[in-house]
């Protein structure tokens, strides 16, 4: 891609070397990706958002060109990484745009550091209110990969060669998107990313890190928690088979100031599938904050 509106950077944080891209000036916005993704999932958003904000899109710990420490991954590590990155950038208060893995990090960060977050914008957010519904009988076919990724043979099977990586990653990019061809132009870049040493394992480690929490939700149901006070906006892809639209029902029980809307033409990757809508809503939400 030529004439890219962003520049690539590396930051040495406590115990971790992080890769991120940055563009624009103004209110800082940090974009937190999910799996199977890396910073590039935001390529349709960064340019326009950078006209209004100081946009930072990092590769999470274990993903992309950020380091992959040998130690087991933990949500607390990812939350700490976000704070350390903001400190490195000299940013005291910032907005967060996130989905999937990034949404777990954003919620935990907002609970621990609400004074540092100007707003939360989520796509198809993994929030505690989903509870036991993750493992409803008709939904088990959608979450099999969360257990598979924890098996010792998972990386060897998926990473056998470039063709197996392509088959595996393409399955999720096509199945979870509202349009099965949404990622056609970027598929090989995603394969390149997951062919890099440690990138499959780094992403798979997330599912081990979050497994105890996931099983607790499935076993015990939605927990009672204090509401997150940070102003929150949710744009949920109506065609996402992994995150059902009905699961938005309890969002107001976990966020004190929240608005939820649906993106009719999008699946799991709302920001990538319907970037014009996503960018417009992000700008409207964060302008003036």
- The ranges assigned to domains in the chain are 7-286
Q: 7-286: which CATH architecture? A: 3-Layer(aba) Sandwich (3.40)
Secondary structure of residue 144 in the 3-state scheme: helix
Catalytic pick among 127, 268, 271, 272: 268
Is the Cβ–Cβ distance between 65 and 198 less than 8 Å? no
Q: Which residue in the list 33, 100, 127, 271 is annotated as catalytic?
A: 100
From first to last of its 289 residues, the chain has per-residue pLDDT tens of: 457 899 999 999 999 999 999 999 999 999 999 999 999 999 999 999 999 999 999 999 999 999 999 999 999 999 999 999 999 999 999 999 999 999 999 999 999 999 999 999 999 999 999 999 999 999 999 999 999 999 999 999 999 999 999 999 999 999 999 999 999 999 999 999 999 999 999 999 999 999 999 999 999 999 999 999 999 999 999 999 999 999 999 999 999 999 999 999 999 999 999 999 999 999 999 998 8
Query: What is residue 288's predicted lDDT score, i.e. its pLDDT?
Result: 82
> Strands (DSSP E) along the chain, which ranges?
7-13, 16-23, 27-32, 53-58, 94-99, 117-123, 232-237, 258-263
pLDDT digits over 27-36, tens only? Answer: 999 999 999 9
Upstream peptide bond of 146 is cis (omega within 30 degrees of 0) = no
Q: How far apart are CA 91 and CA 27, in angstroms?
A: 9
Nearest Cα neighbor of 23 from 35, 41, 1, 8 is 8
Please state, for a pLDDT cut of 90, what percent of the chain lies above it.
98
Q: Please give the model's pTM, rounded to 2 decimal places.
A: 0.97
Verify whether residue 268 is a known catalytic residue: yes
Q: How far apart are CA 282 and CA 196, in angstroms?
A: 32
pLDDT of residue 159: 98
100 part of the active site: yes
Write down the catalytic residue from 127, 168, 190, 207.
207
């Amino acid at each position: 891609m030529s004439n890219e509106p962003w520049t690539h950077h590396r930051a040495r944080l406590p115990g971790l070397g992080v890769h991120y891209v940055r563009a624009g000036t103004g209110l800082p916005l940090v974009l937190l990706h999910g799996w199977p993704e890396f910073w590039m999932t935001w390529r349709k958003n960064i340019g326009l958002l950078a006209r209004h904000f100081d946009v930072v899109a990092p590769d999470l710990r274990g993903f992309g060109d950020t380091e992959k420490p040998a130690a087991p991954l933990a949500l607390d590590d990812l939350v700490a990484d976000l704070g350390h990155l903001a400190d490195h950038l000299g940013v005291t208060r910032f907005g967060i745009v996130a989905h999937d893995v990034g949404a777990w990090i954003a919620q935990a960060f907002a609970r621990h550091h609400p004074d540092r977050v100007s707003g939360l914008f989520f796509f198809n957010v993994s929030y505690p209110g989903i509870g036991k519904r993750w493992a409803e009988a008709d939904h088990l076919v959608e979450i099999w990969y969360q257990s598979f990724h924890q098996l010792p043979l998972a990386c060897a099977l998926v990473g056998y060669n470039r063709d197996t990586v392509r088959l595996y990653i393409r399955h999720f990019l096509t199945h979870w998107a509202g349009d099965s061809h949404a990622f056609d132009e970027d598929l090989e870049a995603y394969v390149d990313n997951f062919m890099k040493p440690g990138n499959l394992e780094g992403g798979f480690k997330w599912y081990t890190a979050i497994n105890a929490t996931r099983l607790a939700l499935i076993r015990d149901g939605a927990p009672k928690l204090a509401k997150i006070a940070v102003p929150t906006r949710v744009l949920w892809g109506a065609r996402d088979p992994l995150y059902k639209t009905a699961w938005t029902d309890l969002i107001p029980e976990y966020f004190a100031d929240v608005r939820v809307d649906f993106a009719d033409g999008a699946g799991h990757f709302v920001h990538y599938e319907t970037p014009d809508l996503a960018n417009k809503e992000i700008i409207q939400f964060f302008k003036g904050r």
